[in-house]
């Protein structure tokens, strides 16, 4: 896909863009709601009506009543979820249409269907409960809803898994193997009861006995931002900063989560930073824009990026600029909103509502 802003917006000065955003917000008043994910640039977050994690923002979207225009400064799967959770009178816009999620793209519809076809030979939805991470395309959320499953985010994956395990013997979790693995550990599921479905290999690279033994099938997806964190980064941080508190996102590999003091969603990480006393040192394993914002927000604490060197940026989150926001706010009437059509919409809604009910 090609996307380029008109020259007027591309070349505008920051102060001009800021004034235009403020004026557009004033003009739209209560008709407008700007949602900003924690990984957005600091200057974009400054104009959000709400800042939050993927769960919190989907909940805020679902609670809007009189709002007509939702501008979601995040990535595509978040805007799609907001569209599904709101009535058809509300228009949802993604200011930069190129903002996707490479992890969500690792779960291709056709590949997941092929995996499910194999799992049907082992009981299908009699045995397996599908749990789709929020980071998936709407079509996969619909698949999950159709088979009685539910959506989870990093802030409610344990609640979702608990719900699922009470209802079916086994879980089919996609696309993030690390969130799935880290959460399954909390339920006492052993490594040998976890099987990773490698979508690039015949039958997921699994033998029938692997599937029979497994309590959970984990899709072999990952986030390239969070998998840059390694156990040696935690060890180094502890050497360099005695008494450091290490907090990481559960999309990080198991070995990193095990060594950390705490792990949780982006909102959890924000709360964790808030709770630490002045003078403390906190090393964070997540996206750099959130870390920089925390360091800015809490100057009385030393807040550092855990690896100290890799600059873990989510380039997709970073795509959204003030230029995109100003353009969207001033031209939304001529732009195409994010719109998930039936039957995906209704089926995905079932799975999303289940998440909102239990969490
Ligand atoms: P949160 O659910 O913590 O907001 O995370 C979303 C995400 O994409 C993390 O990489
Ligand atoms: Fe996707 Fe990772 Fe970016 Fe989150 S940080 S949106 S999982 S690529």
Same domain, residue pair 113 and 209: yes
Task: Please name the residue whose Cα sits nearest to atom 2 of ligand 2.
Answer: 223
Q: pLDDT class for 359, splitting at 50, 70, 90?
A: confident
Same domain, residue pair 260 and 187: no
Using the atom order of ligand 2, give the atom closest to the CA of residue 251.
7
User: Is residue 54's pLDDT more than 90?
Assistant: yes
Question: How many whole angstroms separate alpha carbon 353 and alpha carbon 91?
Answer: 20
Q: Are strands 245-248 and 281-285 parallel, antiparallel or unpaired?
A: parallel
Give the mean pLDDT of 250-276: 98
Sheet holding 32-37, edge to edge: 50-52, 32-37, 69-73, 91-93
Q: Measure 216 CA to ligand 1 centroid, in angstroms.
A: 22
Q: Count of domains in the chain?
A: 3
Q: Say what the pLDDT of residue 305 is.
A: 98
Question: How many whole angstroms separate alpha carbon 81 and alpha carbon 70?
Answer: 12
Give the number of whichever ligand sits closest to the CA of residue 154.
1
Residue 287 maps to a domain: yes
In 220-338 the beta strands, taken as DSSP E runs, fall at 245-248, 262-263, 281-285, 302-305
Give the number of whichever ligand sits closest to the CA of residue 263.
1
Q: Which of 206, 128, 211, 142 is nearest to 173 (CA)?
A: 128
Same domain, residue pair 14 and 44: yes
Give the mean pLDDT of 175-204: 98
Q: Say what the pLDDT of residue 257 is.
A: 98
Q: pLDDT class for 2, splitting at 50, 70, 90?
A: confident
CATH number at residue 238: 3.40.50.10800
Q: Which of 230, 242, 190, 244 is nearest to 312 (CA)?
A: 230
Do 142 and 347 touch, CB atoms closer than 8 A? Answer: yes
Residue 30 maps to a domain: yes
Same domain, residue pair 201 and 248: no
Q: 265-290 pLDDT, tens per residue?
A: 999 999 999 999 999 999 999 999 99
Residue at which a domain ends, from 154, 188, 221: 221
Place of tokens 């100003």: 326
Same domain, residue pair 283 and 332: no
Give the mean pLDDT of 64-72: 97
Beta carbons within 8 Å of 26's beta carbon, 6+ residues apart: none
Structure tokens at 119: 């799992």
Q: Measure 86 CA to ligand 1 centroid, in angstroms.
A: 21
| 80 C-beta closer than 6 A to ligand 1 | no
Give the number of whichever ligand sits closest to the CA of residue 75.
2
**Helix, strand, coil shares, percent, the chain, to 5:** 50, 15, 35
CB atoms within 10 A of CB 55: 23
Residue 357 maps to a domain: no
Q: 138-178 pLDDT, tens per residue?
A: 999 999 999 999 999 999 999 999 999 999 999 999 999 99
Q: Say what the pLDDT of residue 310 is.
A: 78
CATH number at residue 137: 3.40.50
Give the mean pLDDT of 95-123: 98
Task: Please name the residue whose Cα sits nearest to atom 2 of ligand 1.
Answer: 54
Residue 132 maps to a domain: yes
Residue at which a domain ends, from 221, 246, 280: 221
Q: Measure 207 CA to ligand 2 centroid, in angstroms.
A: 31
Same domain, residue pair 309 and 321: no
Same domain, residue pair 208 and 252: no
| Helix (H) or strand (E) run with residue 352 in it | helix 344-358
Same domain, residue pair 29 and 123: no
Same domain, residue pair 260 and 294: yes
Which range marks the domain in which residue 182 is found? 107-221
Task: Please name the residue whose Cα sits nearest to atom 1 of ligand 2.
Answer: 101
Residue at which a domain ends, from 171, 201, 221: 221
Return mean pLDDT, the chain: 97
| 265 C-beta closer than 6 A to ligand 1 | yes
Q: Measure 134 CA to ligand 1 centroid, in angstroms.
A: 9
Residue 235 maps to a domain: yes
Point out the least confidently predicted range of 1-5, 29-33, 256-260: 1-5
Q: pLDDT class for 336, splitting at 50, 70, 90?
A: very high
Residue 347 maps to a domain: no
Same domain, residue pair 114 and 217: yes
Q: Measure 225 CA to ligand 2 centroid, in angstroms.
A: 7
Q: Which of 178, 110, 108, 120 is nearest to 147 (CA)?
A: 120
Same domain, residue pair 148 and 208: yes
Same domain, residue pair 204 and 112: yes
Give the mean pLDDT of 288-310: 96
Residue 350 maps to a domain: no
Which residues does a 6 A CB cutoff place in the pocket of ligand 2?
75, 101-103, 135, 223, 225, 287, 314, 316-317
Residue 259 maps to a domain: yes
Q: 208-219 pLDDT, tens per residue?
A: 999 999 999 999
Question: How many whole angstroms separate alpha carbon 217 and alpha carbon 262?
Answer: 25
Using the atom order of ligand 2, give the atom closest to the CA of residue 176.
7
Give the mean pLDDT of 281-304: 98
């Amino acid at each position: 896909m090609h996307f380029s802003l008109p020259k007027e917006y591309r070349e505008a000065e920051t102060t001009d863009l800021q004034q235009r955003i403020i004026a557009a917000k004033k003009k739209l008043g209560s008709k407008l709601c700007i949602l900003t994910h924690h990984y957005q640039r600091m200057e974009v977050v400054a104009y959000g009506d709400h800042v939050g994690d993927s769960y919190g923002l989907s909940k805020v979207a679902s609670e809007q009543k009189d709002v007509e225009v939702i501008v979601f400064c995040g990535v595509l799967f978040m805007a799609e979820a907001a569209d599904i959770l709101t009535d058809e009178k509300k228009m949802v816009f993604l200011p930069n249409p190129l903002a996707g999620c490479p992890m969500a793209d690792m779960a291709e519809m056709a590949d997941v269907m092929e995996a499910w076809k194999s799992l049907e030979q082992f009981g299908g939805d009699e045995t397996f409960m599908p749990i789709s991470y929020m980071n998936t395309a709407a079509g996969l959320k619909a698949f999950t809803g159709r088979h009685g499953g539910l959506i989870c985010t990093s802030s409610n994956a344990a609640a979702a898994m608990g719900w699922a395990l009470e209802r079916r013997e086994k879980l089919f979790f996609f696309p993030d193997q690390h969130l799935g693995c880290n959460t399954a550990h909390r339920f006492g599921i052993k490594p040998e009861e976890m099987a990773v479905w490698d979508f690039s290999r015949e039958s997921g690279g699994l033998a029938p006995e692997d599937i029979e033994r497994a309590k959970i099938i984990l899709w072999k997806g990952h986030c390239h931002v969070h998998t840059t964190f390694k156990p040696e980064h935690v060890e180094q941080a502890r050497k360099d900063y005695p008494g450091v508190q290490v907090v990481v996102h559960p999309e990080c590999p198991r070995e990193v989560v095990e060594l950390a003091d705490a792990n949780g969603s982006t909102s959890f990480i924000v709360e964790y930073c808030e709770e630490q006393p002045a003078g403390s040192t906190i090393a964070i394993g997540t996206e750099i824009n959130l870390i920089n914002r925390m360091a800015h927000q809490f100057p009385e604490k030393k807040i550092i990026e855990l690896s100290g060197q890799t600059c873990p940026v989510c380039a997709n989150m970073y795509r959204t600029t003030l230029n995109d926001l100003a353009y969207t706010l001033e031209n939304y009437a001529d732009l195409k909103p994010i719109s998930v059509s039936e039957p995906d919409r209704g089926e995905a809604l079932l799975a999303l509502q289940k998440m909102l009910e239990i969490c």
